[in-house]
Chain A
């Protein structure tokens, strides 16, 4: 009879490359070239400008409820660009930079939050799924895609986003379990922004870290500073390389903070302290990266201003396309339920058209009905 500690081979690490002051750890700095370094910066700035504009669109009644990503830009803007073009991305719904990087037009996001399915149509060849609203359900799709890659013998990988709240869901655990069993090329990226609406991270799990959950599924976990874009990039890059070469999945926990409300429909003052928010304000991922790039000599005041101006222009153009050029035929509601429309549904569609006609709904130049 005996009783001793079981030794586990899986490891759980914590990675920080850029410290709070924007100073890089020399040994860990991935030393990305100027072009990529600057690109990541642009992506974060565009993400923030679009995010701010969408809050504004909601506030002025031009868009629906919106879940902003302010404060956590370094996660999506660091993680998605670390994946190859043939790799797939499964977002949750707060990864603005991920969509932009994969070539989704900015107005897609506005369309989605504005109540149009058109916002879920992926950019061609983007290998990027649309928003997943039911929490953690996308984990299984990401796992399934990586399963398909393995079955097909492709050496690609999948990056899946999920929040800290989502780690309480069964789908998250089932995805990790299957990924571990089949050694799938999956990078599970948890954006731990500390709050799931009003429920703090501590109420989701008793584990001191989320990263350590990887151990139970038989692979490594790593916690990164989620406001350190180089840390996010490097961790995902490493995990993706491991996945593509048959090394199996990795669980990454990026620790960041949701600076705003959960969505435009709630008031965080009800459930968290202003002091906590102020503390995180000082850790802003964009400011931190600006300091790093400036020290490196990659970013001048002029370039900084140009990047901001370009972002503002791109977002303004996207808003214009959303506001001025949307032509959405309500009758299309019926057209994508099945490849071939069943007769009963075709009858319902005809009836709907009669209802629109009787209500005097106007038609546009293409003969389509115009939404009031």
Chain B
């Protein structure tokens, strides 16, 4: 067992994948000599060489389109977008091909590739470095949208993502990258994609979050406990395909729910969670479900980002409203 932060945990997963499978290649801007702008690929160029850890010219579309070509050829590319805010220059390849090749060819071509990228706010970055647009990808059939929240689940989920026969959009909460350390087992570990986790049990209200929002959500659960409210906390882990069952079982137990995410509210992941709660558990509800999310505005420049991002106070306030309803 070793204590590590999320950057090191992701690095470990990439190292393991490169070692275990000769078809795995990493590609992206500045991932080789510079070891990634967040150092996620540290040491990998030296170990595996420039045919496995490939620095690319600066073109997101060509990185993803090229990775699709490699995957068509039977390889398992893990492509890094330097920031999710720049991935839109590759979005046409994601929508037109990454999500469709399996269906279009009735399963003849399978694109087992990963598109990993840091997302979300909280690091005082300039514009285009802070958005949370997981809903775009979750809205596209054929993709799997995965967002880890801790070093241990980041390592396990990235391993699973690389092994998946279907494409995975892998959002890394950059605010969590170096925020804390966690025990990560020495032996390689995987986690199922498409499954959420109850990370804290409780009976009064279900808090549903993922990624960087897990920390303020857990902090809110602590505050609530001090006020005598027992919150159950679900970490979605995979945003799409969504694990409806874990949500339904919890909400049917607590009768109350709050959904939390950084991205804008309208048509966000929270809207889908609420719809599924309504479809599966309406008659168990004791109160309307609340959403604590980013507002329907563009992500503010960083001088104002702290007030934009949902925090433990906002989450606890919403939970109290739901409990008191």
Chain A residues proximal to chain B, CB less than 8 Å: 88, 117-118, 120-122, 129-130, 134, 137, 139-149, 151-152, 170-171, 174-175, 177-178, 181, 332, 336-339, 342-345
Q: Tell me whether A122 and B72 are in contact (CB under 8 A).
A: no
Prevailing SS type, chain A contact patch? helix
A134 to B104 alpha-carbon distance, docked (Å): 14
A311 to B311 alpha-carbon distance, docked (Å): 70
Q: Which residues of A contact B144 (CB under 8 A)?
A: 338
Of B57, B62, B166, most buried by chain A (CB within 10 Å of CB) is: B62
- Closest 6 interchain pairs by CB? A144-B69, A140-B65, A342-B241, A174-B62, A148-B73, A144-B66
Q: Considering the complex, which residues of chain B in the window 29-58 have a beta carbon less than 8 Å from any beta carbon of chain A?
A: 51-52, 54, 56-57
Q: Tell me whether A140 and B104 are in contact (CB under 8 A).
A: no
**Chain B contact residue count (CB 8 A cutoff):** 45
Q: Tell me whether B61 and A145 are in contact (CB under 8 A).
A: no
Interface-lining segment among B6-14, B89-97, B182-190, B221-229: B89-97
A181 to B59 alpha-carbon distance, docked (Å): 13
Q: Tell me whether B57 and A130 are in contact (CB under 8 A).
A: no
Q: Which residues of B contact A149 (CB under 8 A)?
A: 73
* Contact among A118, A145, A344 with B72 in the assembled complex (CB-CB below 8 Å): A145
A181 to B70 alpha-carbon distance, docked (Å): 17
Q: Which residues of B contact A122 (CB under 8 A)?
A: 105, 108-109
Of A118, A142, A175, A344, most buried by chain B (CB within 10 Å of CB) is: A344
Interface string of B88-117 (1 = CB under 8 A from A): 000011001100001111111110000000
- Which A residue sits closest to B141, measured CB to CB? A337
Chain B residues proximal to chain A, CB less than 8 Å: 25, 51-52, 54, 56-57, 59, 61-62, 64-75, 92-93, 96-97, 102-110, 141-142, 144, 164-166, 194, 241-242, 244-245
Query: Given the interface contacts A151-B75, A170-B61, A171-B61, does A117 sit within 8 Å of B241 by beta carbon?
Result: no
A339 CB → nearest B CB, Å: 4
Q: Which residues of B contact A152 (CB under 8 A)?
A: 73, 75
* Contact among B57, B104, B245 with A343 in the assembled complex (CB-CB below 8 Å): B245
Q: Tell me whether B25 and A151 are in contact (CB under 8 A).
A: yes
- 7 more contacts with CB within 8 A, not counting A134-B92, A145-B69, A344-B241, are A137-B92, A143-B69, A151-B52, A178-B56, A178-B66, A332-B106, A336-B106
Q: Which residues of B contact A144 (CB under 8 A)?
A: 65-73
A178 to B59 alpha-carbon distance, docked (Å): 9
- Which B residue sits closest to A141, measured CB to CB? B69
A177 to B107 alpha-carbon distance, docked (Å): 31
Q: Which residues of B contact A181 (CB under 8 A)?
A: 57
B107 CB → nearest A CB, Å: 5
B161 CB → nearest A CB, Å: 13
- Jot down 5 A-B pairs with beta carbons below 8 A, ordered by A: A120-B106, A140-B65, A174-B61, A339-B166, A344-B244
A123 CB → nearest B CB, Å: 10
* Contact among A137, A147, A339, A345 with B93 in the assembled complex (CB-CB below 8 Å): A137
Q: Tell me whether A147 and B104 are in contact (CB under 8 A).
A: no
Q: Which residues of B contact A117 (CB under 8 A)?
A: 103-106
